[in-house]
Amino acid sequence: MNRIKQLFEKKQKDILSIYFTAGFPNLNDTCDVIRELEANGIDLIEIGIPFSDPMADGPTIQDSGTIALKNGMTLKILFSQLIDIRKEVNIPLIMMGYLNPIMQYGFENFCKQCKETGIDGAIIPDLPFNDYINEFKPIADKYDIKIVMLITPETSEERIRLIDEHTDSFIYMVSSAATTGAQKSFDEKKQDYFRRINSMNLRNPRLIGFGISNKATLDAAQANASGAIVGSKFITLLKESINIKEAVKNLKEVLSK
């Protein structure tokens, strides 16, 4: 069974997923970050593929992508870094990136390499849903790569139910229509959105991302979904900390207070 499916069958609440940009802060940090996160109890990891035009990302993740690209990170190098990761790491791993570099690599080749390196799924924010259904899903299914779709407060109920019907891992529930970035709290409008999605009784579990940066936002996300995704805050800590170990230690501290 796919590791993402296994995780959500085993653990229905308080899942914590962490996003980081591959090749940041240094080109060869990728596997060290993954190992350190798993060692500290993280449930799921999203490995960001750096891209020159990341439209859904805020300044923090954009900057990390720019640095990673300057460091020389490419999909080919990323897959070569991950070739032996499953000898040490057991938690689900997801690639997150934009369509352009994935299509340049070749989508089937991408899925094949994901399978060979032990990647369990992919999040492609700019992949149109109809293209996913008609062209991408059959290829991803062939290699058992789960494609995770995003919803926002502006996503219609009809589209949400279609996504729920045609995916089978989890739904990435974006907390706002804005770009990524840390927030101190979720306002009543966001809380209404969380409650509205809860009332739909969707088949797939959900993780809430964008803006999770402290205990208040983490608790709010975990109270309204199966768990939360932290990205920008961890990127900031990777940049500010002495090393990866300290960055993960500091992450656990800021999420607990």
Q: Which residues contact 143 (CB under 8 A, 6 or more apart)?
A: 111, 112, 114, 115
86 domain-assigned: yes
Q: Does the annotation mark 253 as catalytic?
A: no
68 domain-assigned: yes
Query: Which of 124, 14, 134, 26 minimizes the C-alpha distance to 71?
Result: 26
- Centre a 10 Å sphere on the Cβ of residue 190 and count the other Cβ atoms it contains: 21
Q: Does the annotation mark 57 as catalytic?
A: yes
The CATH code of the domain that includes 24 is 3.20.20.70
Task: Measure the CA–CA gap between 52 and 67, rounded to whole angstroms.
Answer: 10
Question: One of 29, 36, 43, 57 is an active-site residue; which one?
Answer: 57
65 domain-assigned: yes
Please give the tally of structural domains in the chain: 1
pLDDT of residue 56: 63
162 domain-assigned: no
- The average confidence (pLDDT) of the chain is 92
pLDDT in tens, 169-228: 999 999 865 544 444 556 678 888 888 999 999 999 999 998 898 999 999 899 999 999
166 domain-assigned: no
237 domain-assigned: yes
pLDDT in tens, 115-172: 999 999 999 999 999 999 999 999 999 999 999 999 999 999 999 999 999 999 999 9
Angle between helices 75-82 and 107-117 (to 10 degrees): 20
Question: One of 46, 131, 144, 187 is an active-site residue; which one?
Answer: 46
Domain that residue 83 falls in: 3-150+227-255
